[in-house]
Amino acid sequence: MSQLHSPVSTTQAGPSGHQLRATDAVSASEELLEIARLRAADSGLAYTGALYPLEAWSLVEAGVATLVDVRTAEERKFVGQVPGSLHVAWQTGTALIKNPRFLRELENKAGGKDSVVVLLCRSGKRSAAAAEAAAKAGFTQVYNVLEGFEGDLDSQNQRGDVGGWRYWNLPWQQD
């Protein structure tokens, strides 16, 4: 049986406490995408942009971006996954061999090379490599989720306490 983990509230209220209108959400999404592009340019990244988990979720929830999990099927099953995310493995199996069909599968599942695609892996490193490959293949709106699903290693060499999708209490489920 699957268990769903989600934040207390996914509804955003404006400064005065009123709900954001659709035009506000579009404006906020455009601003987030611009910040992500600037972040990538400042860091010399070879893909469109870099987003933190909360930013990525905001874009996905607004319907502006498609979230694609590039981890292995085993990671998604045993560690957890974001409900509704697409899956296109960057690497497969226990040997983590690069998926030769990755770019073709990404294009087909994400709806084309001009779709806004947000890539997620365990820590943000494999998804960065996948984003770079996608950009080189002509994807024009490919973003990496910094911190990934589990975040960086802490002082005890464990994940989960230093950033990441789950750390920020964003929606996820586990089989």
Structural domains of the chain ordered from first start? 23-159 (3.40.250.10)
Global pTM?
Answer: 0.85
Q: Which token pair is 27? A: 């404006």
Nearest to 165 by CA among 107, 104, 40, 79: 79
C-alpha to C-alpha distance for 70 and 68, rounded to whole angstroms: 6
- Determine the pLDDT at residue 23: 53
Which residues, given as ranges, of the chain have pLDDT below 70? 1-26
What kind and span of H or E run contains 119? strand 117-120
- Determine the pLDDT at residue 26: 65
pLDDT in tens, 143-175: 999 999 999 888 888 888 889 999 999 999 998
Residue 156 amino acid letter: Q
For 81-107, b/e burial (b = at least 16 CB within 10 A) is bbeebbebbbbbeeeeeebeebbebbb
What's the CA angle centered on 23, arms 115 and 31, to 5 degrees? 60
Q: Which token pair is 122? A: 């365990």
Collapsed DSSP state (helix, strand, coil) of residue 81: strand
Burial environment of residue 26 by CB neighbours within 10 A (0 to 12, 13 to 18, 19 or more):
middle
β partners of residue 2: none
What kind and span of H or E run contains 135? helix 125-136
C-alpha to C-alpha distance for 149 and 123, rounded to whole angstroms: 6
β partners of residue 120: 69
Q: Which token pair is 119? A: 């890539």
